[in-house]
Amino acid sequence: MTQHELPFDESGDEPTSRPDDASPPEPEPEDHPDEGDLQAWIDGELEPARAREVGVHLELCSSCRVVVEDLGDRARSTTRALAVLDRPAPEAGVDQARWNVRRRRLASRRPGASRRGVAAAAVLVLLAAGAAAALPGSPLRGFLWDDSGDREVRTLEPTATEAGLPRAGLALGYRDGRLEVELDGWPEGRTVELRSGEGAGVEVESWAQTGFRTGAGRVTVPGALLPEPPSEPTGGDPADLVIRIASGPGEVLVRSGSRLLVRWSGGSFQLGEGIQADPLSDGVRLQVPEARQ
Amino acid sequence: MDFDALFDDVYPKLRRYCMRMTADRDLAEDTAQEAFVRLLDREVKGGDAGVRSWLFKVATHLLRDRARVRSNRLRLLESRGSDGLPGPAPGPDPAEELEREERRQVVREALARLDERDRTLLLLREEGLSYRELARVAGVEVASVGTLLARSRRRLERELTAPVDT
């Protein structure tokens, strides 16, 4: 918001540009800008030519300066009064809200997916921090592997952070018969692999620090990216994120923000604009691109 | 501006706007998020300002619809002053907390007594919307925004200082 400064010394009544030897007559009443123009002048919202006219008038008209001061005072007291209503947003509220938006968008696509009879993808999340070992036989397994068709949407949601570590996660869901994977918060340059999987679901491996947390109808994964993936005992160059998708879902789209990274359909991979990838025996490996401005 | 940057910039303001309009945190967050969900499926023209005013306009309409559904009036009108949050946390000075809550209640009730257009304009301007954006959201002429803003602030001031009916 641009606001004009009063063109006179705030401490005095006289305009700074007024000559000492002769006081010009006050403008005629019909020349006074109306209150709306004065308010717009304060807010910097007048067209330049009109703003100049009002500015000149204010230099000459003490009564309008009083109005301007009143309007300014009232605007400031309004701001103070309304601020009383505010309470601090919960920590990480914006990140959480962004996740909610992505999840809700995907969830809103469910009817189309049901009509097409697409089998639901189960989600299995394996984390580096030993969570995978806890899966076999655990109640989580039954929750994560869900072929009922009623729960097409799974959101992997980072709800906890460690200082200095970026938060990142995924949202998965069906839209018009396609499986859509949306990456959220993955910094530029992080490596992502899209691979063929076995079984009947989607498997996600991520170098995150955390464990599982489940809630009604969703899977959440609190976590944060490690600065670098840990080196594997077997050597190699592990990707930050590996998504393995079993046969069945048909077309798969992977996005990051608004950018299409890769479309996988009929055994072929079509890369999004400006995306480069290395082929793998069972998929592709690419890097998260710079966010599009 | 990409989606994430837009979200980081606008969501807190949109949430606060909805919060001030409804005094209900859950409703405010739900409404602000719903506006962004709708944005994802649309191509909104007009650059960043166009998208921002579109989001506020959608949120305003959603709030209006939801308020209508919910007993046909804004929660602002509720006299108990619940904002969907737990009561003031016990602080070092309960008397101060109580006083703050009472001030909130006074402002809520004063806002509730304004007509919808005044309230909308006031709260949108507090979020930094330009006159052009205000006009787009509130459905008024750009040239009349200054007058309407000045008038609505005066009305709020009057309501804030008006004796409370008991």
DSSP code per residue over A112-165:
HHHHTTPPPPEEEEEETTTTGGG-TTSHHHHHH---SSS---EEE------TTP
CB count, 10 Å around CB of A272? 17
Average pLDDT over residues B70-99: 55
Tell me what pLDDT residue B82 has: 46
One-character DSSP codes across B77-132: G-SS---SSPPPPP-S-HHHHHHHHHHHHHHHHHHHHS-HHHHHHHHHHHTT--HH
Among A44, A62, A83, give the residue marking a domain's end. Answer: A83
Asked if residue A20 is part of any domain, the answer here is no
Higher pLDDT, B159 or A160: B159
Task: Domain of residue B134: give its range.
Answer: 3-161
Assess whether A267 and A224 both reside in one domain. Answer: yes
Assess whether A128 and A258 both reside in one domain. Answer: yes
Higher pLDDT, B107 or B70: B107
For residue A179, give how far its alpha carbon lies from the nearest alpha carbon of chain B (Å): 17
Assess whether A209 and A283 both reside in one domain. Answer: yes
Band (B162; pLDDT cuts 50, 70, 90): confident
Tell me what pLDDT residue A238 has: 66
Q: Is B67 exposed, middle or buried (0-12, 13-18, 19+ CB in 10 A)?
A: buried
Residue found under tokens 């006050």: A26
Assess whether A73 and A168 both reside in one domain. Answer: no
Among A42, A60, A83, give the residue marking a domain's end. Answer: A83
Q: Which of B153, B154, B155 to probe the A interface (max A CBs under 10 A)?
A: B153
Q: Do A36 and B145 touch (CB under 8 A)?
A: yes
CATH number of the domain encompassing residue B22: 1.20.140.160
Residues A223 and A234 sit within 8 Å (Cβ to Cβ): no
Tell me what pLDDT residue A125 has: 33
Higher pLDDT, B93 or A174: B93
CB count, 10 Å around CB of B99? 11
For residue A225, what is the DSSP state?
Answer: B
Tell me what pLDDT residue A2 has: 53
Assess whether A172 and A234 both reside in one domain. Answer: yes
* Region of residue A165 (phi > 0: left; psi between -120 and 50: alpha; otherwise: beta): beta
Asked if residue A8 is part of any domain, the answer here is no
Average pLDDT over residues B103-107: 91
A-B contacts at Cβ under 8 angstroms:
118
Tell me what pLDDT residue A246 has: 66
ipTM: 0.81
Residue type, B158: R
Q: Do B34 and A104 touch (CB under 8 A)?
A: yes
Which residues in A lie closer than 8 A to residue B128 (C-beta atoms)? 1
Helix crossing, B131-138 with B145-161: angle to 10°? 80
The structure tokens listed for A216 are 């009604």
Residues of chain A contacting B, Cβ within 8 Å: 1, 34-40, 43, 45, 71, 74-75, 77-79, 81-82, 84-87, 89, 93-94, 97-98, 100-101, 104-105, 108, 184-185, 257-258, 291-293
Assess whether A35 and A122 both reside in one domain. Answer: no
Tell me what pLDDT residue B19 has: 92
Of A94-108, A221-235, B58-72, B120-134, least confident by mean pLDDT is: A221-235
CB count, 10 Å around CB of A212? 19
| Closest residue of chain B to A90, computed from CA coordinates | B25
Strand-pair category, A268-271 with A241-245: unpaired
| CA–CA dist A86, B13 (Å, integer) | 11
| CA–CA dist B117, B140 (Å, integer) | 9
Tell me what pLDDT residue B49 has: 84
Asked if residue B166 is part of any domain, the answer here is no
Tell me what pLDDT residue B98 has: 83
Asked if residue A23 is part of any domain, the answer here is no
Task: Domain of residue A76: give its range.
Answer: 29-83
Q: Which of A85, A94, A99, A182 to probe the B interface (max B CBs under 10 A)?
A: A85
Shortest CA distance to A196 belongs to which of A242, A253, A239, A136? Answer: A242
Q: What are the average pLDDT values for consecutive 10-residue runs of chain A, which has 293 residues?
A: 51 42 55 92 93 92 93 94 82 73 66 28 28 30 34 39 54 67 78 76 56 34 43 54 67 84 84 87 87 66
Higher pLDDT, A196 or B160: B160
Among A83, A116, A148, give the residue marking a domain's end. Answer: A83
Tell me what pLDDT residue A3 has: 59
Assess whether A246 and A180 both reside in one domain. Answer: yes
Asked if residue B92 is part of any domain, the answer here is yes
Assess whether A54 and A188 both reside in one domain. Answer: no
Based on the structure, what is the number of domains in chain B? 1
Q: Degrees (nearest 5) of the Cα angle A292, A174, A205? A: 70
| CA–CA dist B76, B112 (Å, integer) | 6
Residue found under tokens 């340059």: A189
Residue found under tokens 């998929």: A283
Based on the structure, what is the number of domains in chain A? 2
Beta bridge partners of A264: A252, A269
Q: Please tell me which of the candidates B8, B83, B146 has its beta carbon nearest to residue A94.
A: B8
Tell me what pLDDT residue B11 has: 94
Assess whether A69 and A110 both reside in one domain. Answer: no
The mean of the pLDDT values for chain B is 83
Tell me what pLDDT residue A70 has: 94
Tell me what pLDDT residue A160 has: 38
Assess whether A54 and A121 both reside in one domain. Answer: no
Asked if residue A228 is part of any domain, the answer here is yes
Assess whether A63 and A179 both reside in one domain. Answer: no
Q: For chain B, give the percent of residues with pLDDT over 70.
A: 83
Asked if residue B27 is part of any domain, the answer here is yes
Which residues in A lie closer than 8 A to residue B133 (C-beta atoms)? none
| CA–CA dist A122, A139 (Å, integer) | 15
| CA–CA dist B7, B36 (Å, integer) | 8
Tell me what pLDDT residue A177 has: 63
Assess whether A279 and A194 both reside in one domain. Answer: yes
Which residues in B lie closer than 8 A to residue A45 (C-beta atoms)? 130-131, 145-146
Which residues in B lie closer than 8 A to residue A258 (C-beta atoms)? 2-3
